Chains A and B, each alone.
Chain A
Amino acid sequence: AQSVTQLDSQVPVFEEAPVELRCNYSSSVSVYLFWYVQYPNQGLQLLLKYLSGSTLVKGINGFEAEFNKSQTSFHLRKPSVHISDTAEYFCAVTPNSGGSNYKLTFGKGTLLTVNP
């Protein structure tokens, strides 16, 4: 089984400041890792994913994340945030073994609030 811990339930920042949203996971098998963004009353949109290869992955809207296997972390970063980045962010994992690579396990989410 997998579990995902998002260490911060809320992160307030000022516009144009850098931000890091933290995510740690636990799994007995290798996993794929994801970050999703959810705007109010909407579904989830994929920001970025780590499947294999380079541990630094770049996503949409200027976000990037780094996979650290030894620390079992996948923190999300953006060097300069905008008001429009205000949303809920979810970290998720799924086993990377064959047919079981469907079910996603989500963290509890981090509400990023960007203030002017």
Chain B
Amino acid sequence: GAVVSQHPSWVICKSGTSVKIECRSLDFQATTMFWYRQFPKQSLMLMATSNEGSKATYEQGVEKDKFLINHASLTLSTLTVTSAHPEDSSFYICSAPRMGWAYNEQFFGPGTRLTVL
């Protein structure tokens, strides 16, 4: 099956610093990628839709200036958490749909655990 990778798998940073998380589709091209946030023992909440070559679309309540998304190529999207604070600590997961004839199945990355001290 298709593979989506994320880097880093975990990161610890100090409050006030910025952290960049990469999401790559390894064996297919993805014009769209999705970024989710998951708090402990909770479901995935869609944060934004990353669009190659254009601005990301953010879900209601997500601060676009805090969570910067760049979709630099057909295989890479990055999420930068700017001026991170402890409340930003979470598990961040990306996904990418792969074109299919009936349905564009989404493939998920393994996630990035962010801990802000």
| B window 62-89: CB within 8 A of A | none
Q: Work out how many contacts link A and B, with CB atoms closer than 8 A.
A: 52
Q: Are A90 and B43 in contact (CB under 8 A)?
A: yes
State the main secondary structure of chain B at its contact with A: strand
Instruction: Identify whether the interface residues of A are mostly helix, strand, loop, or mixed.
Output: loop
Known: A32-B103, A42-B111, A46-B105. A90 touches B44 (CB 8 A): yes
Q: Is the CB of A41 within 8 A of B111?
A: yes
A49 to B49 Cα, complex, angstroms: 22
- Which B residues fall within an 8 A CB radius of A? 4, 6, 32, 34, 41-44, 46, 49, 91, 93, 95, 97, 102-106, 108-111, 113
Interface residues in chain A, defined as those with a beta carbon under 8 Å from any beta carbon in chain B: 32, 36, 41-46, 49, 51-52, 90, 96, 101-104, 106-109, 111
